[in-house]
Amino acid sequence: MLEFRVATDPGSPDKPNEDAFAILPTLAVVADGATSPPHLGDGCFHGPAWYAQTLVGFVAAAHLSRPAAEPTDLLAEAIERTTQAHSGTCDISHPGSPSATVAMLTLSPDGIARWLVLGDCTLVADAGPDLLVVSDDRLSNTSHAERAAVKEPGVASDSAEYARRIDALVLAQRAHRNRPGGFWVAATDPQAGSESLTGSMAADAVGRRAALFTDGASRIVDLYGIHSWPTALKVLDSAGPCDLLRQLRTAETRDQVADSFPRVKMRDDATALLCNWSDDA
């Protein structure tokens, strides 16, 4: 028997949740739409929430029409169809055209799970004796100076100087986006599908689990250290994804000034999805 559990929470009550997910009996996918300062423009009137939701919808549609297709091909097709969906109304050649990071799991009848990670979403899975943890850190390997400037202590997050530093970071990252040697995200270039990190594992063992996180949710481990990956997976499986996200928000509320954990966004949209192969008995 296969169980899926998912929770998603917007980082701000005033803004749309730019995380999205889709689940079918043989597919789970999460996407995290990228935000950029509105005055820098993105050539699109739909926005990142639309992009992420449309993308996961097309991933699901591609999987339905081609159940045996590899996750890289599903993502490439979804990028192409999402781009087509706004090519008539928006400037899809804009360097800041809406984009998303992605994590995906597909399940085949032979008991093999195939996974894909593109950008800073994270896959965590019982893949045998060890826990498999996959995230794509190519973005964090670009724009070092601009990121360090944003995280520098002493610059208030509501100051003009901070806003200027954020702009500089976004523009520096755009120059590396979907370029060889830079980082890859789902945007307008289907090649991002084949630039994803991928793998497969046996997935039919009872008690085996896999989880997908957007970076707003994986922070509970990789930024705050409140959980290790094994304990985060345990909370997902026992108390559930809502409980894990509540723990995350509690920690962030206690750390309003971001002194303890310097970060660009105080609270980000957060999504955690668990796929659990449970006992039929």
Summarize as ranges the residues that interact with Zn ion (CB under 5 A): 44, 46, 86, 90
In the numeric block, which tokens belong to residue 226?
A: 């409140």
Question: Considering beta carbons, is residue 46 or 265 the nearer one to Zn ion?
Answer: 46
Q: Are strands 112-118 and 122-126 parallel, antiparallel or unpaired?
A: unpaired
Contacting residues for 145 by C-beta, under 8 A, at least 6 apart: 172
Buried b (16+ CB within 10 A) or exposed e, 205-244: eeebbbbbbbbbbbbbbbbbebbebeebbebbbeebbeeb
Question: Considering beta carbons, is residue 44 or 118 the nearer one to Zn ion?
Answer: 44
Please report how close the Cβ of residue 46 comes to Zn ion at its closest, in angstroms.
Answer: 4
Q: How many CA atoms lie within 13 A of 249 on its CB side?
A: 16
Cα 214 from Cα 123, distance rounded (Å): 9
> Around Cβ 169, how many Cβ atoms within 10 Å?
21
Please report how close the Cβ of residue 74 comes to Zn ion at its closest, in angstroms.
Answer: 21
Question: Considering beta carbons, is residue 33 or 71 the nearer one to Zn ion?
Answer: 33
Question: Considering beta carbons, is residue 88 or 109 the nearer one to Zn ion?
Answer: 88
H or E segment and range at residue 106: strand 100-107
Please report how close the Cβ of residue 100 comes to Zn ion at its closest, in angstroms.
Answer: 13
Please report how close the Cβ of residue 67 comes to Zn ion at its closest, in angstroms.
Answer: 29
Per the document, the length of the chain is 281
H or E segment and range at residue 215: helix 215-222
Please report how close the Cβ of residue 86 comes to Zn ion at its closest, in angstroms.
Answer: 3
Smallest CA-to-CA distance from 195 within 60, 27, 97, 71 is with: 71
Question: Considering beta carbons, is residue 46 or 246 the nearer one to Zn ion?
Answer: 46
Please report how close the Cβ of residue 200 comes to Zn ion at its closest, in angstroms.
Answer: 34
Question: Considering beta carbons, is residue 187 or 236 the nearer one to Zn ion?
Answer: 187
